[in-house]
Amino acid sequence: MRDQGKAFCGMCLAAVLVTALPVVAAPEQSQQAPPESASAAVPPEPVPDEAAEAAERAGQKSAMDELRALSAERRDEAIAAAGRAAADLDREMARLQQEMDQGWGRMSQAARERSQAAMVDLRHRRNTLAEWFGGMRHGSTAAWAEVRGGFANSYQELAEALRKARAEFARQAQDEQMREADDPGSDQSR
């Protein structure tokens, strides 16, 4: 039975890695068109202000603190909460990708490269989170504290990286708007 569990975990890890392979294998995308995105149906969301970001961070920290407190006996509850938290981050990543796609034509070459690099980093961190989530779902009771803590730490790292990427993208968009307002007739190299 234990060997079957290991094999299943290995298959889950392989599935996660295979889904990430296109991102890693093809980082060079056309510089004239936005990168393909599976988030076309997600409506854009306004960039949150500092108070909203602080409240969001506090909520994320509280959720992970609560997750850390759940014992192995409440494993199903913890796994459900972790799945919801990961899905929330997935939606945030999809919104950010859509915002980047919509602003692609106005971005400078350097901003495009930074945006692509930020999304690759976020996807890498999301894959790490998925590995910890798989450990929570399929790991032994003895390993519960380690995988629960690993998931919580990975979640907080991804949430912080996502917050920073969103802030950087908003700053880049604002810089581009200011540049266009200062010199509306110029055709910048993009």
pTM comes to 0.64
DSSP 8-state code for residue 43 = P
Question: Would you state the torsion angle of the CA atoms of residues 6, 10, 13, 14, taken in this order, to the nearest 10 degrees?
Answer: -170
d(CA 54, CA 44): 20
CATH number at 50-181: 1.20.120
Cβ atoms of 172 and 109 closer than 8 Å: no
How confident is the model over 138-169, as pLDDT tens digits?
988 889 889 999 999 999 999 999 999 999 98
Burial of 142 (0-12, 13-18, 19+ CB in 10 A): exposed
Q: Report residue 73's pLDDT band, with 50, 70 and 90 as the boundaries.
A: confident
CA 90/CA 183 separation, integer angstroms: 37
Domain residue limits, the chain? 50-181
